[in-house]
């Protein structure tokens, strides 16, 4: 690549307003299927060049968008990693609420949803579920015909979305018996974020996340006491979600500028309590010296020419390491 190319690129980038050069990532939900008022269902918003891309739509995603003052109507595209319920239970709410004549609503276009096999059934099922609602609201002038449609798109490995310089690439990960399960990488003006989806060690992820600016990774942990007392129970989960040691190995291999954990699974059984977040941090820190954070709902991260920075919603709920 010539020096002239880099000179032209740097001139183009320096002429762009700061916000246009950013990728902003917001954790809308960092939880699992387990009901938790602090960790809603899995969902991550990625904003770049004016586009709002939603990765997974778990329980409460619309509430979290509202809290972050992102109008539901402005979601441009939805990407589902896999068909576990905790990644899609918020989709009917988003679909039904975005067209309404509210401050968050007035969506006037169909909702584009990318997902693995089953995405067509999800789209058709939601449209069917709300068919009478839509008839009533169309009659009452509270929605528009176009906004009653979901357009499903089948995901396969490779580039699945490309618009105005924002590119989304899907890759297969290793979520045990859950096949297919995808991770996604978003690229924009030389900046990048990888969302692992639910996975344990996966060769594709190691490749896609190598040197990425921001890696959002799933993690699961049972306390040492639980691992000792119930190894079969815990190891079953570790076969499809990375434990802290596997996650640390992934970070050591890929060396992201910042890693953030989401889909935080803290296992308990009987009288043995859940591992704490402090234990999770300690076990990752035992073998990983780089920068990482335990994600909290509503945390944002900005990837800009200045680096990768956290933009917390509530500083008291934030845990950054180091």
Residues engaged in binding Zn ion (CB under 5 A): 84, 198
DSSP annotation of 42: S
Residue 294 vs residues 45, 219, 306: alpha-carbon distances, Å = 17, 10, 22
CB-wise, 187 or 198, nearer to Zn ion? 198
3-state secondary structure of 61: helix
The secondary element (H helix, E strand) that includes residue 120 is helix 119-129
The minimum distance between CB 81 and Zn ion, in angstroms, equals 8
In the complex, what is the shortest distance from the CB of residue 263 to Zn ion, in angstroms, rounded to a whole number?
8
Q: How far is the CB of 176 from Zn ion (least distance, A)?
A: 9
DSSP-based helix, strand, coil % in the chain, nearest 5: 30, 30, 40
Nearer to Zn ion, 178 or 249 (CB): 178
Query: Smallest distance from the beta carbon of 290 to Zn ion, in angstroms?
Result: 26
**CA 37 to centroid of chain Cα atoms:** 18
Range 106-144 burial, b when 16+ CB lie within 10 A, else e: bbeeebbbbbbebbeebbeebeeebeeebeebeeeebbe
Question: Could you tell me the smallest distance in angstroms from the CB atom of residue 39 to Zn ion?
Answer: 15
Gap between the Cα atoms of 53 and 286, Å rounded? 34
Nearer to Zn ion, 84 or 217 (CB): 84
Q: Indicate the residue among 84 and 191 with the shorter CB distance to Zn ion.
A: 84
Report in angstroms the alpha-carbon separations of 156 from 83, 160, 289. 14, 7, 35
Nearer residue to Zn ion within complex by CB, 198 or 213: 198
Q: Which is nearer to Zn ion, 30 or 143 (CB)?
A: 30
């Amino acid at each position: 690549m010539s020096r002239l190319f880099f000179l032209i690129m740097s001139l183009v980038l320096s002429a762009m307003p700061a916000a246009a050069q950013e990728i902003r990532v917001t954790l809308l939900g960092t939880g699992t299927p387990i009901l938790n008022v602090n960790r809603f269902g899995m969902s991550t918003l990625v904003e770049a060049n004016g586009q709002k891309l939603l990765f997974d739509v778990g329980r409460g995603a619309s509430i979290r968008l509202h809290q972050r003052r992102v109008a539901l109507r402005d979601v441009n595209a939805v990407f589902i990693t896999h068909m576990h319920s905790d990644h899609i239970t918020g989709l009917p709410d988003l679909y039904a609420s975005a067209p309404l004549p509210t401050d968050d609503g007035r969506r006037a276009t169909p909702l584009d949803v990318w997902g693995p096999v089953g995405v067509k059934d999800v789209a058709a099922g939601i449209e069917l579920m709300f068919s009478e609602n839509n008839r009533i609201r169309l009659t009452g002038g509270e929605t528009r015909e176009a906004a009653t449609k979901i357009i499903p798109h089948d995901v396969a490995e490779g580039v699945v979305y490309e618009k105005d310089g924002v590119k989304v690439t899907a890759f297969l990960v290793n979520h045990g018996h859950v096949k297919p399960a995808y991770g996604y990488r978003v690229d924009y003006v030389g900046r990048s974020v990888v969302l692992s989806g639910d996975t344990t060690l996966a060769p594709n992820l190691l490749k896609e996340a190598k040197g990425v600016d921001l890696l959002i990774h799933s993690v699961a942990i049972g306390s040492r006491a639980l691992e000792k007392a119930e190894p079969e129970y815990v190891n079953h989960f570790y076969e499809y979600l990375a434990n802290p040691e596997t996650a640390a190995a992934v970070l050591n291999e890929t060396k992201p500028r910042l890693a953030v954990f989401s889909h935080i699974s803290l296992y308990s059984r009987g009288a043995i309590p859940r591992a704490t977040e402090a234990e999770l941090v300690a076990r990752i820190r035992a073998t990983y010296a780089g920068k990482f954070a335990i994600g909290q709902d509503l945390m944002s991260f900005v990837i800009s020419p200045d680096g990768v920075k956290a933009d917390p919603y509530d500083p008291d709920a934030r845990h950054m390491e180091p």
